[in-house]
Structure 1
Amino acid sequence: MRAVFLPRRGFSTPHAPRYRPQNAQRALIGRGIRANSSAATSSSQQEGSSDSGYSSNSSFWMSSRTLFASAFTAGLGYGYATYTSQASHPSKTAQYGSSGDFDKAIAELRTKLGEDSISTEEEDLQQHGFSEWSTLNADRLPVAIAYPTSTEEVSEIAKVCHKYRMPMIPYSGGSSLEANFSAPHGGMTIDFAMMNKILTIHEDDMDVVVQPSIQWMDLNEQIKDTGLFFPVDPGPSAMIGGMVGTNCSGTNAVRYGTMKDWVINLTVVLADGRVIKTRKRPRKTSAGYNLTGLFVGSEGTLGIVTEATLKLAPIPELTRVGVMAFPTVRDCAATAAQLIRKGIPVQCVEIMDEVQMDVINRAGGTGRQWAVAPTLFFKFSGTTAGVADSVNLTTVIAKTNKASSVQFAKNEKEAHDLWSARKQALWSMMALRTEGSDVWSTDVAVPISRLPEIIEISKQDLVDSGLFAGILGHIGDGNFHASIMFDRQNKEETERVEQVVYKMVDRALEMEGSCTGEHGVGLGKKESLKKELGPETIDIMRSIKRSFDPHWLLNPGKIFDLEKDS
């Protein structure tokens, strides 16, 4: 099975209205739609054309009209097929149920959970099998979508899917970038849209119990009167389930860390429907294996998270936002590295290069014009005296590194306006897309001391490629992103994007870094993960998955494949 590029179909919210077909229609619509039937015929040469595992062949691009038509007319299904890594290696096979088995699973779950709990409507399958955000998409869609309302219902779904050997794919916010929730082998997507509540808040203990589809911003809005907040802050649409799955971070990571640092325990449904809790509720324990940490970052391949107990932090007494422009991206990176090395307390250190600042101006989403120069965005928080000291020390470091302008917000509104440029970065790049264009977003992470070098070299590679591309990211913890505009139907341009992205990834690995700081592996970076960790380490991960999921039913195809390469 390979992943292929499919076109974007226009923006939609992560949970668009659900379309419910009549019972008679359900037999005809969406039973494992194959979005691109030609994809499976690609040659091994095409598949091995780059380290990415992506196809750059233009034949894999389809118009939106073709995508819709092929999906709708494939009602007989793309085959609830056995997944075979390579046709010549029958041992590399996960045996999944037949078309009849999957029909039985769907019927049984409708009987147990209610008719509307399972959708096979074509629009639903498109929404859950194709991502607006992802650089690539699988060439298949899920067979059906389940909408559970409780852990008990998720357990029932898992028991039935396990019985009929039906793959299961967890889905919450739908904003991942590496096809993390795609369904390359079909199966049942489990959408937690109706599990989006705060279950319990313990103010004195500074923790909260939540369901997987609550957005982190909604969580903070609902608990703001407690004087506490949840500090992990990725994209605005991100939800707790996906954040746990990818061990995401965000702009606050330099001070508060990543998702793994804020999860106390998890309630998890295993592949066979058993329900476990990874630990109790104290903030520290040395009782047994760290199962909580094992599930965080596993992208739903080990179990399905249905509840999470999260640490909360006190809302700081004072927060100040600053913006500083520099002559070069290396000056920005050097300033950030020195700031961290000196131990100056900082909540956020973000970078945007001159291309990205120009994009912000052209998109017009912030209501002001910015200097078209590499720029650092800072947040300092804490006591009034502590923040003032941090601001002064940072200003000195910045000026030593040739800062051409230094501005700090004087009030909350000005702080919001200044920070809005960083928050508008991805949306602004998306807004500038023309017909047929797309944005490839990728990230890497390196030790802080190597940050100036890799950013400078990567920036030059992007310039030399002739692509319209910007650099941005969480520079304070060695993690940065590239957003690259390209014509998805232009084979040569797509190959250039692949080349520059995977040179960046390989360079990060040479610097003892990582192929992904926060996006996860999904389908998109499996080959890079092999380079990063090596076959023996990957095989240990594979052994852990087999112990939790011997039939390879949980989010199959993500992070690594079923068997070691020959």
Structure 2
Amino acid sequence: MSPATAYQHSHDNIQSLIDIAKVHDVAYTTNIHERTAKSITKHSLAAPEEIPLVVFTPESTEKTAILLKECNARRISVTSFSGGTSFGGALTATRGGVCISFEKMKDIIALHEDDMDVVVQPGLGWVELNAQLREKGLFFPVDPAPGASIGGMIAMSCSGTNAYRYGTMKEWVISLVVVLADGSIIKTHHRPRKSAAGYDLTHLMIGSEGTLGLVTEVVLRLTTLPKNLHVGMAIFDSFQQGVDAVIAFQKYGHKLEMLELADGPQIHAINRSKLAQLHLEEKPTLFMKFAGASLQAVNDQIKSVKQICSATKAIRLEVTNTSERIDAIWGARKCIGHALVAMKQEPTDVFLHTDCAVPISNLAALVKGTQKLIKDSNTSTSKKWFCANVGHVGDGNVHSSVIVPIEDKEKAEKTLREVARLALRLEGTVTGEHGVGLKLRDALIEEVGISGVNAMRRIKASLDEHSILNPDKIFTSGEANKMKAKL
């Protein structure tokens, strides 16, 4: 580590920061369990020593700014915490330091119904937000894991099952209030839906994984609740047939609410877990949602989709608008994450995953190639690996998951790196919605090239001179400071 990145985490430095927090009435904890929970979760694992030394829970932008200013002056590294659902080691406190948790900043500040936007704090969960918006006939459509909060969703540029119809987080953030590493407070824009005023700082922050600044206030776009909701599922003999159906939907101009394609092993995991209300045929299954302003428009779309599914050789197709059946079908799709855990043969088995994205026409090739890579890697092991795939097929994003014995973890991780390289050869990306974190730093270089990563390093060095914010994510802190020295 170069002198410029030598973090100063002495007892005296941390204690002086705690004393300042007390003066400004900022709550904190040094409890080992609280500290561990902010860095090591079931989604984002870390070594036991990679936890913050203290957790602060500010209640305002101003108090967050005080903490960052003092951390910057003392060269104390900072991680942040919102909902704790991110992957890839994004929460890991690699350098110790402190954590700023936004668990006390979870209010709706203002709702503008006529403008269809809402101003919120970063600790508010999207599920809780939608619960409060429902009575107004409005909703916020970005839907990652149920426990995700707005601040983390912005940091990771997340999406979810609604992304095919509504887009990702990038499309639903209007403006931000951000505290920079030195404690400066910036507001990226006001509330208009469009702006050409200077650099687009809003979207620079989205997906920066907490490395450029901490978001403390957000203006989000809203839309109306879907009307005339129907849910369907189509079963195919091959994953390619499901992809062909989706391509045909798009060519005919159909924009369904959701399109999710699971392979046969994924359906097997659902059945084995018994988490769903129904037992499914263990073949590639396309889950669909339909909605529209009029029932006639929805029925016309369903009719066309049925014709396309028949032409692409769907074995079976069901579409329903009864609430019980909707809950059963969509519940099967939404339980997938927990169902995969049920595939562990031993408690020590490890769950690993990728979230590559490719052009839709290459999606089946990615899944087929992934299955082959896993099969070829598993030949010399004593225990069989389990591999399943589910795709946000409408935008070409696929989650490939593998359950392996703990002794095969390193080998499986190498195999998944080959899956990422396969995605790049198929003109895709190594991460569609989970971010780079610690796990994909090398893959990022392969995707955008050293010149692209160096450009990111220069941005990091200009906004965070001492690399205190979420160090080692996306690229290492030492590398960022090498760039700073060249500026």
TM-score, reference length from structure 1: 0.81
Aligned match of 2:389: 471
Question: Distance between the aligned counterparts of 2:233 and 2:431, measured in 1?
Answer: 26
Aligned match of 1:245: 155
Aligned match of 1:118: 28
Residue 545 (structure 1) aligned with residue 460 (structure 2): yes
SS at match of 2:387: strand
Aligned match of 2:57: 147
SS at match of 2:400: strand
Show the 5 A alignment for 1:126-205: 126-134=36-44, 139-205=49-115
Aligned match of 1:435: 347
Residue 375 (structure 1) aligned with residue 285 (structure 2): yes
* Contact 1:109-1:160 within 8 A present in 2 as well: no
Question: Distance between the aligned counterparts of 1:547 and 1:472, measured in 2?
Answer: 39
Q: Residue type matched to 1:319 in 2?
A: L
Question: Distance between the aligned counterparts of 1:463 and 1:409, measured in 2?
Answer: 37
Q: Residue type matched to 1:113 in 2?
A: D
* Contact 1:177-1:441 within 8 A present in 2 as well: no
Aligned match of 2:372: 460
Aligned match of 1:533: 448
* Contact 1:209-1:309 within 8 A present in 2 as well: yes
% identical equivalent positions: 37
Q: Residue type matched to 2:391 in 1?
A: G
Aligned match of 1:299: 209
Match for residue 183 of structure 2 among 273, 286, 297: 273
Question: Distance between the aligned counterparts of 2:68 and 2:40, measured in 1?
Answer: 23
SS at match of 1:189: strand
Structure 2's unaligned 5+ residue stretches are 379-383, 483-487
Aligned match of 1:21: none
Question: Distance between the aligned counterparts of 1:435 and 1:297, measured in 2?
Answer: 33
* Contact 1:101-1:164 within 8 A present in 2 as well: yes
Aligned match of 2:381: none
* Contact 2:90-2:473 within 8 A present in 1 as well: yes
554-563 or 531-540, which moves further after superposition? 554-563
Aligned match of 1:339: 249
Aligned match of 2:400: 482
Question: Distance between the aligned counterparts of 2:126 and 2:259, measured in 1?
Answer: 20
* Contact 2:44-2:91 within 8 A present in 1 as well: no
**Judging changes above 3 Å, is the alpha-carbon distance between structure 1 residues 504 and 522 closer, same or farther for their aligned structure 2 residues?**
same
* Contact 2:89-2:437 within 8 A present in 1 as well: yes
**Judging changes above 3 Å, is the alpha-carbon distance between structure 1 residues 300 and 113 closer, same or farther for their aligned structure 2 residues?**
same
* Contact 1:170-1:300 within 8 A present in 2 as well: yes
Deviation at 1:506, TM superposition (A): 0.2
Deviation at 1:108, TM superposition (A): 2.2
Q: Deviations over 1:264-322 (max 9, x none)?
A: 00010111111111001000111111110100000111100011100001112222111
Deviation at 1:532, TM superposition (A): 0.3
Question: Distance between the aligned counterparts of 1:300 and 1:289, measured in 2?
Answer: 19
Q: Deviations over 1:164-209 (max 9, x none)?
A: 1111111000011111121001111111111111111000000001
* Contact 2:277-2:331 within 8 A present in 1 as well: no
Match for residue 257 of structure 1 among 154, 167, 179: 167
Deviation at 1:413, TM superposition (A): 2.3
Q: Deviations over 1:27-80 (max 9, x none)?
A: xxxxxxxxxxxxxxxxxxxxxxxxxxxxxxxxxxxxxxxxxxxxxxxxxxxxxx
SS at match of 1:551: coil
Question: Distance between the aligned counterparts of 2:447 and 2:302, measured in 1?
Answer: 37
240-249 or 345-354, which moves further after superposition? 345-354
* Contact 2:229-2:321 within 8 A present in 1 as well: no
> RMSD over aligned Cα, in angstroms?
1.7
* Contact 1:542-1:562 within 8 A present in 2 as well: no
SS at match of 2:259: strand
Residue 395 (structure 1) aligned with residue 306 (structure 2): yes
* Contact 2:341-2:351 within 8 A present in 1 as well: yes
Question: Distance between the aligned counterparts of 1:189 and 1:336, measured in 2?
Answer: 43
Deviation at 1:390, TM superposition (A): 1.9
* Contact 2:121-2:218 within 8 A present in 1 as well: yes
* Contact 1:337-1:451 within 8 A present in 2 as well: no
Residue 515 (structure 1) aligned with residue 433 (structure 2): no
Aligned match of 2:233: 323
Aligned match of 1:361: 271
Question: Distance between the aligned counterparts of 1:310 and 1:397, measured in 2?
Answer: 36
* Contact 2:106-2:120 within 8 A present in 1 as well: yes
Question: Distance between the aligned counterparts of 1:405 and 1:277, measured in 2?
Answer: 52
Question: Distance between the aligned counterparts of 2:70 and 2:306, measured in 1?
Answer: 60
Deviation at 1:243, TM superposition (A): 0.4
* Contact 1:356-1:472 within 8 A present in 2 as well: yes
Deviation at 1:135, TM superposition (A): 5.7
Deviation at 1:412, TM superposition (A): 2.1
Deviation at 1:410, TM superposition (A): 3.2
TM-score, reference length from structure 2: 0.93
SS at match of 1:444: coil
Show the 5 A alignment for 1:36-51: none
Q: Residue type matched to 2:335 in 1?
A: Q
Match for residue 21 of structure 2 among 78, 92, 109: 109
Aligned match of 1:313: 223
Q: Residue type matched to 2:326 in 1?
A: A
Deviation at 1:138, TM superposition (A): 7.7
Deviation at 1:137, TM superposition (A): 5.2
Deviation at 1:564, TM superposition (A): 4.7
Question: Distance between the aligned counterparts of 2:139 and 2:261, measured in 1?
Answer: 24
Question: Distance between the aligned counterparts of 1:317 and 1:330, measured in 2?
Answer: 31
**Judging changes above 3 Å, is the alpha-carbon distance between structure 1 residues 172 and 429 closer, same or farther for their aligned structure 2 residues?**
same
Question: Distance between the aligned counterparts of 2:279 and 2:6, measured in 1?
Answer: 57
Q: Deviations over 1:403-438 (max 9, x none)?
A: 111011231221121100110000111244332112
Deviation at 1:222, TM superposition (A): 0.4
Question: Distance between the aligned counterparts of 2:39 and 2:314, measured in 1?
Answer: 46
Aligned match of 1:209: 119
Q: Residue type matched to 2:322 in 1?
A: N
SS at match of 1:113: coil
Q: Deviations over 1:305-344 (max 9, x none)?
A: 0111000011122221111111112222222223223321
Deviation at 1:141, TM superposition (A): 1.1
Q: Residue type matched to 1:441 in 2?
A: H
Question: Distance between the aligned counterparts of 2:70 and 2:262, measured in 1?
Answer: 48
* Contact 1:149-1:195 within 8 A present in 2 as well: yes
* Contact 2:357-2:429 within 8 A present in 1 as well: yes
* Contact 1:246-1:297 within 8 A present in 2 as well: yes
